[in-house]
Amino acid sequence: MTLRYVYGIVPARSAEAVDAAGLEGLSGAPVRAISDDGVAAATSTVPENEFGADALNDHIRDLDWLTPRASTHQKVNARLLEIADTVIPLSFGTLYRDDERVREMLRTDAGGRVARLASLAGRAEWVVTVTRDVDEVPGAGEDLGALDREIASSTPGRAFLLEKRRTKVAEAAGARSDGEVGRHVFEELASVAERTYREPVGDAGRDVIVLRLSLLARRDDDRVDERIAGLRGELETSGYRLRATGPWPAYRFGSLE
């Protein structure tokens, strides 16, 4: 038994081009288009014993299994963006029982999807992350240096109190510097993007995540990569690191209203 795996949604006018592209999907199956109501789903068949609900829930925790399949999912959507010039990429693991269930999905809010595809035409998504080492506190070197010297020459009791003070000074300086850097990078990239989305961030072990930003811009707008390169060089001299990936199909903005 097989299921229908859906990679993304494109305009129905691109269905023939998808079929003719010879795309290879998961398990090496050919990617084909299923069309209905002005939109088309790029799909391939996958074995139910591997992608059925129970099996998929087990496999998705296995990085050795997940990584190559997630890569195939992304590669197919990247090619769909080239073929159709616009795509709504779906999440990994979007599955339907048969072709008719795929068509039912396409008919749900078809008009909204047509409008969203039009808004994404010629555009792509970049993801930018700014981090620093948790032990490096830009902007607090002189203050911390003075405290370190005082701690080194203090009795154990006083040194303990000074360590607590040092932690507070470092946290305040780090928060102040992180806020300034985050605002600067956001404003610089927002000025060359059509839309931005500031992603929530959490603890990253040895790294402090200052900013994670998704931005939508025209694929032919060289200012995006130029601005990213300029910011990367600028931040390296101040203790921060900028990492950027893209251009991608609009994973974030394809799902945002």
Higher pLDDT, 2 or 161: 2
pLDDT in tens, 110-137: 999 999 999 999 999 999 999 988 777 6
Is residue 2 helix, strand or coil?
strand
In this prediction, residue 144 has a pLDDT band, given cuts at 50, 70 and 90, of low
Q: Flag whether pLDDT at 145 surpasses 90.
A: no
The answer to whether the beta carbons of residues 182 and 238 sit under 8 Å apart is: no
Asked if residues 111 and 119 have their Cβ atoms less than 8 Å apart, the reply is no
Low-confidence winner among 21-25, 201-205, 227-231 (lowest mean pLDDT) = 201-205
Kind and range of the H or E run holding 177: helix 156-190
The proportion of the chain whose per-residue pLDDT surpasses 90, expressed as a percent, equals 68
Question: CA-to-CA distance for 25 and 246, rounded, in angstroms?
Answer: 21
Within 10 angstroms of residue 127's Cβ, the number of other Cβ atoms is: 17
**Which pLDDT band holds residue 14 (cuts at 50, 70, 90)?**
very high
For residues 90 and 103, what is the distance between their CA atoms, to the nearest angstrom?
A: 15
Domain 123-248 bears CATH identifier 3.30.70: yes
How many residues are recorded in the chain?
257
Tens digits of residue pLDDT in 186-220: 999 999 999 999 998 776 567 889 999 999 999 99
Residue 256 has pLDDT above 60, yes or no: no
Q: Domain extents for the chain? A: 2-120, 123-248
Rounded Cα–Cα distance for residues 109 and 96 (Å): 17
Give the Cα separation of 2 and 198 in Å (integer).
39
Torsion sign over Cα 105, 111, 113, 118: positive
